[in-house]
Amino acid sequence: MSWQEDYKKKLVTPEEAVSVIKSGDRVCFVQGNEPQALGLALAARLGDVENVLLSLRTPGRDFGWYDPVFEMSFKIEVGFPLPIVRQIIAERRCDLAIGGLGFIFTEEDRGPADVVMVELSPPDEHGYCSFGASVWTKKTEVRRAKIALAEVNKNLIRTYGDNFIHVDEIDYFVEHTPSGKQPGGTDLLGRKSVEAGEAEKTIAGYVSTLVRDGDTLQVGVGSTSEWCCTLGTFENKVDLGWHSETTPRGIIPLIRAGVINGKRKNFNPNKAIATACGGGTKEDMDFVTMNPCFELHSAEYCLDVRNIALNDNMVAVNSAVSVDFAGQIAAESIGPRVISGAGGQTSFAIGSFLSKGGRSITVMPSTVGSGEKRFSRITPLLVEGTIVTVPRTISDYVITEYGIAHIKGKTQRERALELIGITHPDFRAGLKKEAEKLYWP
């Protein structure tokens, strides 16, 4: 049977596709855009199934099942806690996966999902479909699942790398290409378009002083870290490399301009490597489409600390919400209130630590809130219940708008003083007293 005949045989309606889902099944929506037609068809089975576990890796669309009425049919498990699910997390109406992308999201410990849903491009002349602008763990999860359902979206791009899967590895196809703004869609971090503040501009300038010609970069998702890609942080450098999880806006123009060319990379030289590329312009997407200088690979490949460390002078730039005097970096929660996920931050902190000449840079404004409810992000101790994303043993540089603290290799007392030096001046006296209570007799 030709792949064309196989594809035609597997082509069904959304309703027919989701009819394979039974009560008690575990259904995985892989990272990236959730298939819209399949999601709506499954939500329409409210009352028809019971105890179906929805494993939502990057929830970004509201198909209705965040409403309590859907609990009669569906249970929810969240991978990366994006804004759309923060309320149900706070209400404890869902479960939460634990860990970073470099260490979880495989099925080895739990067995295969009963059903996996994924968006794919139409097949090419050889019967291969693309995962579009993000690969994550999609190929692995499709291959391990008992049943794989694919929603074919003709708008998805193709890239070099490990960004393809053959028609014969999919059980059922549904054709659906959303037009215009997709209902229920959100920005990855739920952010509106805003201008960079003075704090972000100053922080970007400090980061630039730590980046050298020939460094290989990773920049994580985060309102502070991502500004480094658009505020000129890297523009005066030469021969930079790119090995990252995501590809924030501003990076593709640097590749086009030759600032990022990978010439000095030890691992995958002359190529920009990531598992996702999003947030760019149409010009950016056109540039990476089937361009040999840009490759998308699986999260398992990109976030493997052993691969990250293969590049000398690996520089990781990531945001945080809080750092304590010991150097524990929190990027996922404030106390027990979860606001984000680890993503690749832990992996890149470890990988840059192991890299010859590597540096791990944590960026954040010095304060949060305003008026009487303004607080220092650098604190003596993390709030009880706060999730630690990067342990103190591998923390390196911390930057606020008030300067750079280099805490790698420093003692408790030295770290406290370094960090207090980059806090907002209004809090320094009080924080110094707290440090004296903690670390001096």
Identify whether 34 is a catalytic site residue. no
| CB contact set of 325 (below 8 Å; sequence gap of 6+) | 378, 379, 380, 381, 412, 415, 416, 419, 420, 434, 435, 438, 439
Average pLDDT of 403-425? Answer: 99
pLDDT at 150 over 50: yes
- The CATH number of the domain where 329 resides is what? 3.40.1080.20
In terms of Cα–Cα distance, which of 109, 142, 114 is closest to 52? 114
Q: Which of the following is catalytic: 200, 245, 401, 418?
A: 245
Print the domain residue range for 32: 3-175
**pLDDT band at residue 183 under the 50/70/90 scheme:** very low
What share of residues in the chain are helix, strand, coil (percent, to 5)?
30, 20, 50
Domains of the chain: total: 2
Judge if 203 and 137 occupy the same domain: no
**DSSP helix/strand/coil, 117:** strand
Judge if 432 and 313 occupy the same domain: yes
Judge if 147 and 283 occupy the same domain: no
- The CATH number of the domain where 137 resides is what? 3.40.1080.10
DSSP state of 303: T
In terms of Cα–Cα distance, which of 377, 428, 431, 399 is closest to 439? 431
DSSP state of 48: T
Residue 249, judged by CB atoms within 10 A of its CB (0-12, 13-18, 19+), counts as middle
| Domain end marker among 107, 140, 175 | 175
Question: pLDDT of 209-261, one tens digit each?
Answer: 999 999 999 999 998 999 999 999 999 999 999 999 999 999 999 999 999 99
The answer to whether position 284 is within a domain reads yes
pTM: 0.95
Query: What's the token pair of residue 112?
Result: 């295969």
| Domain end marker among 110, 143, 175 | 175
Judge if 47 and 135 occupy the same domain: yes
Widest Cα–Cα separation across the chain: 79
pLDDT at 186: 39
